[in-house]
Amino acid sequence: MGTIFWPKDPLDGNDMTLLTSILRRWCERYQVELTAEESSRKAKELVEWFEFGVKDPVELEELIDDKHWLVSRI
């Protein structure tokens, strides 16, 4: 069996605190239970963006709010 190389750093306590606070605010904003399936999908998306390299809390919130896709119509 081959060795698996995982190039990502593990999330530490500070990372988890940041990500949890962003997810909790999202849940409150959209009135979604933290344990709901939709919340789990957003949590996964949030972690993926964080692991991709997005570390700014404001940008992370915008990304999971899907605001990065908003384009004004001409």
Name the nearest CA neighbour of 58 among 22, 13, 28, 11: 22
Please check whether residue 4 lies inside any domain of the structure: no
Give the pTM.
0.78
What is the domain range of residue 39? 13-66
pLDDT at 7: 72
Total number of domains constituting the chain: 1
In angstroms, the CA 29 to CA 1 distance is 46
**Span 8-60, pLDDT tens digits:** 788 899 999 999 999 999 999 999 999 999 999 999 999 999 988 899 999 99
Please check whether residue 3 lies inside any domain of the structure: no
- pLDDT reading at 61 higher than 80: yes
